[in-house]
Amino acid sequence: MKIAIISNLYKPYTRGGAERIVELTVQGLKQAGHDVFVISTKPQKGIELVEESEARVYRFKPLNIFYYLDDYKHNAFVRIIWNIIDVFNFSSARVVTKILKEEKPELVITHNLKGLGMLIPRAIKKLKIKNIHVLHDIQLVNPSGLMFWRQENSFVQNGLPSKIYQFILRKLFSQISSAIFPSVWLKNFYWEHRFFINAKKEVLRNPVIRPEIPVDVKREKQNTFLYLGQIEEHKGVLWLLDFWIKNKLDSKLILAGKGNLNLDRYKDSKNIELIGFVERKDIENLFKKADFLIFPSLCYENSPTVIIESLQNATPVIVADIGGSAELVQDGLSGFIFKPENEAELLNCIQKASNLNNLEYTAMSLNAQESVKKLDLCTYIEKLLT
């Protein structure tokens, strides 16, 4: 089957876990014998076609004020104008239509479209091609894709501009025939906002690739915890660092990732190690150094890839119960769960983790690894196409 994958970002232009899922989907479809091509964006002008190992990749720069990954460089007013253009980006829709007419795929799987153009589902519908849409966040309800803890009823979420935006996007995405949600929370969230009323809706957990060499279950603790992800305030990074210093924890906290926060004031902390961005090939070694991954997010997450990868690497997770994140962790079996921004509960989780003897910790490490074995890529592709 010839299948088109459309995503606002595709390697090497990436930002988070959604792009990793797109990459895995392309690999899985290719391995299953399908003819796959990708339509995505690039920061340079012009349209290019590149033959890569997994698929043909079409890239172009959508006609707008700035490139999607440069949003942080602009103020709120400019971003509002950018979003209006993005919703009604006829230029992008024409480019995508032209490519689809030439390639003639039997199926189109769309992912995040912000920055690529929200008219694309209508363009696919006009071509009478079946369209599966995979959700990764709440960007169809809120342009930022973010909803913060204790700000669920704010003007940003429920004000008149947001309601107008939701009304338009609800209409544009009513063309989707099937919607895939990696978490129960995200499915319920979109249902509450009356999206995809007539579409087939399924919860399908994000996939992982089994390592060629199986990861060993951990046998003893090293008194080390890990944060791996975007270095942004909404991820709970500053809150976690301040918590670590305030409570004078003896355990070591490794902080890895890239982002816009300045962490210079934490560099001299004896129990905190800032290592910056880590290449994907080195992530497995990073998990080996840690007893637990800590995921302290202050925004509603869907199904964070880093949690799944941590569990796959036999590293239990201490996770904030916000959005769909905690759905991946069994409290007391593959990790611990705490309320967002609750110091007492996080401290209790860390104490529980520290009090585990090596035999108890080994059992939790095994449970973590076993919990994601059913999320292999082949099974994901089979269910996706079914």
**Picking from 17-21, 92-96, 270-274, 369-373, which range would have the lowest pLDDT averaged per residue?**
17-21
pLDDT of residue 256: 95
- CATH number of residue 369's parent domain: 3.40.50.2000
Q: What is the C-alpha separation between 21 and 112, in angstroms, rounded?
A: 11
Q: What is the C-alpha separation between 223 and 291, in angstroms, rounded?
A: 7
pLDDT of residue 52: 87
Block residue for tokens 């079914």: 386
pLDDT of residue 382: 93
Is residue 155 scored above 90 in pLDDT? no
Domain match, 64 and 198 both: yes
Domain match, 65 and 200 both: yes
Residue 386: pLDDT band (50, 70, 90) is confident
Block residue for tokens 């209508």: 122
Q: Per residue in 322-375, pLDDT tens? A: 999 999 999 999 999 999 999 999 999 999 999 999 999 999 999 999 999 888
Q: Which two tokens stand for residue 371?
A: 């919990």
Domain match, 87 and 197 both: yes
Domain match, 228 and 184 both: no
Average pLDDT score over residue span 153-171: 90
Residue 356 counted as domain residue: yes
Q: Per residue in 115-130, pLDDT tens? A: 999 999 999 999 999 9
Task: Give the type of residue at 355.
Answer: N
Is residue 287 scored above 80 in pLDDT? yes
pLDDT of residue 128: 95
Residue 315 counted as domain residue: yes
Q: What is the C-alpha separation between 20 and 25, in angstroms, rounded?
A: 9
Residue 159: pLDDT band (50, 70, 90) is confident
Average pLDDT score over residue span 140-160: 88
Is residue 293 scored above 90 in pLDDT? yes
Please tell me the total count of domains within the chain.
2
Residue 142 counted as domain residue: yes
pLDDT of residue 166: 95
Range of the structural domain that residue 9 is part of: 2-204
Q: Per residue in 28-80, pLDDT tens? A: 999 999 999 999 999 999 999 999 888 999 999 999 999 999 988 999 899 99
Domain match, 169 and 41 both: yes
Residue 157: pLDDT band (50, 70, 90) is confident
Domain match, 122 and 164 both: yes
Is residue 211 scored above 80 in pLDDT? no
Domain C-terminal end among 169, 204, 239: 204
Task: Give pTM, 2 decimals.
Answer: 0.89
Domain match, 174 and 239 both: no
Residue 191 counted as domain residue: yes
Q: What is the mean pLDDT of the chain?
A: 93
Buried b (16+ CB within 10 A) or exposed e, 243-269: bbbeeebebbbbbbbebebebeebeee
Is residue 213 scored above 80 in pLDDT? no
Residue 288 counted as domain residue: yes
Residue 384 counted as domain residue: no
Single out the residue of 141, 136, 169 nearest to residue 156, CA to CA.
141
Is residue 6 scored above 90 in pLDDT? yes
pLDDT of residue 305: 86
Domain match, 287 and 149 both: no
Domain match, 174 and 309 both: no
pLDDT of residue 175: 84
Per-residue CA distances from 1 to 6, 34, 87, 99, 105 (Å): 16, 5, 30, 17, 8
Is residue 203 scored above 90 in pLDDT? yes
Domain match, 237 and 188 both: no
Residue 196 counted as domain residue: yes
Domain match, 110 and 10 both: yes
Residue 210 counted as domain residue: no
Domain match, 336 and 244 both: yes
